Amino acid sequence: MGKKILIVDDSRTIRQQLRFTLEKGGFEVTEADDGVTGLEMINSSSDILLVISDINMKTMSGLDMLDKIKAEARYASLPVLMLTTEGSGAMVDRAKKAGAKGWVIKPFQPEQIIAAVNKLIE
């Protein structure tokens, strides 16, 4: 069983790009298209080592999902990497205060994602 990463993004294209990049890097990948589904997957799988999440999604945003993850004691140490087009200082500060461990701006470089993931799950 590989190191499992959950991708939460409403863009199928971004999920496909991330899956390709991460699988090439030796990771196992699972996907969700919004924060609600992402939370359901986290709750039903004990082997997710890292979450990579978009911020702006319908149903539940990445920041709302992050708040809910960090509010659960059993997931408090689960690292979450935000991947978004949002680069404002206020948004980055909000995510950091909520417990995000990293921030990557789209479009991403594959080696940038692999380096960030490796750093966060070591």
40-98 residue pLDDT tens: 999 998 899 999 999 999 889 999 999 999 999 999 899 999 998 877 788 888 899 99
Q: Is residue 93 exposed (0-12), middle (13-18) or buried (19+ Cβ within 10 Å)?
A: exposed
pLDDT, residue 89, reads: 82
Q: pLDDT tens digits, residue range 9-42?
A: 999 999 999 999 999 999 999 999 999 999 999 9
The pTM of this model reads 0.94
Residue 66 maps to which CATH number? 3.40.50.2300
Mean pLDDT in residue range 96-107:
91
- Looking at the DSSP bridge assignments, the partners of residue 30 are 6
What's at 21, amino acid-wise? T
Residue 98 lies in domain: 3-121
Total tally of structural domains belonging to the chain = 1
pLDDT, residue 115, reads: 94
pLDDT, residue 27, reads: 96
